[in-house]
Structure 1
Amino acid sequence: MTTLTAPQPAATPTPASLTAGTLTIPLPSGPEAPAHARRAALGFLHWSWPALTQDRCDDFLLIVSELVTNAVRHAPGPNTLTLTTTAEALDIAVTDGSRTEPAPRTPDLSDGTGGMGLHIAEDLGARIFIEPLSAGKCVHAAFCRG
């Protein structure tokens, strides 16, 4: 029996995947998606924003992980991560195949069912907004450099 596995996207940015401060990668649909997204984001942030402090980089990676986890857990794929840096800002964007907007909810601290992702992003200074798409939505966490 032969098993075929679809190729996985590169875990770190390659010159072909980087254009003008933007990285876009397709994400796997399973539980490995957040780790995959963090690896790609780490490489991108080091490339696009070399003066970023380690603490702030860790904040951004946590938000990437939370947004990707939400997309994989609550919406059908395909999912995509897009990171964009400019002189003034960083945008973390995750697309999914659901048109239902995420709603912040009271975090569940007892049974681990979540509810903290959007709160974490906002507490770390993100401006969260939802962009409707024809086949789903894109959840953005936007930050001003400063």
Structure 2
Amino acid sequence: MNSTKTTDIPIPAPAVVVQGDSPDAIHRTRDAARAFTDSLTPAPDPTTADTLVLVVSELVTNALRHGGGRYTLVLSAGPDTVTVSVSDPNPAPPRERTPDLDDSSGGFGWHMVRHLTRQLSITPDRPGKTIHARLTR
């Protein structure tokens, strides 16, 4: 008698692309990131899924605020990692600044993204740049 054993072999997910040019688009982008993590087999643990959504939210918010007012998000997954790539038309790389604890003008996002990701890189594009953030799956 043959028996088949099933295992949770990571299946590559198709890349997801979302474009936005307004603060209203951030909610749609978060929803797309959540749907993407839900579609992965095996699904990442809830903490990883929440972290991915947070990284997406921070990067697209920064793209709108500092990157020229529009962005393209690409989500992809491999066997061991999930990659968030956010492109915007501003060629300037993100800059670290001291978080503002008094008037809530920000400064926390880039620190947070750097802390939460396994690997972070910036690729110049024409025009602008793409930030690639890789998380452990």
**TM-score greater than 0.5 by the shorter chain:** yes
1:67–1:107 distance in 2 versus 1, CA, 3 Å = same
Structure 1 residue aligned with 2:3: none
Equivalent runs, 1:1-146 vs 2, <5 Å? 20-27=13-20, 29-145=21-137
2:87 and 2:73 mapped to 1: Cα distance? 7
Residue pair 1:38, 1:65 contacting (<8 A) in 2 also: yes
How high is the sequence identity, in percent, across the aligned residues?
37
- Larger C-alpha radius of gyration, 1 or 2? 2
Residue pair 1:33, 1:69 contacting (<8 A) in 2 also: no
Give the alignment's TM-score, normalised by structure 1. 0.79
Read off the aligned partner of 1:95 and give its amino acid letter.
S
1:49–1:118 distance in 2 versus 1, CA, 3 Å = farther
1:53–1:144 distance in 2 versus 1, CA, 3 Å = closer
Read off the aligned partner of 2:117 and give its amino acid letter.
G
- Please identify, of 118-127 and 102-111, the stretch whose mean Cα deviation from structure 2 is larger: 118-127
Give the superposed CA RMSD: 1.7
Matched pairs, number: 126
2:46 and 2:94 mapped to 1: Cα distance? 29
2:93 and 2:114 mapped to 1: Cα distance? 16
1:50 and 1:40 mapped to 2: Cα distance? 18
List runs of 5+ in structure 1 lacking aligned partners.
1-18
1:129 and 1:114 mapped to 2: Cα distance? 22
Q: Runs (4+) of structure 1 moved beyond 3 Å? A: none
Residue pair 1:79, 1:95 contacting (<8 A) in 2 also: yes
Q: In the TM superposition, what is the alpha-carbon distance from 1:130 to its structure 2 partner?
A: 0.6
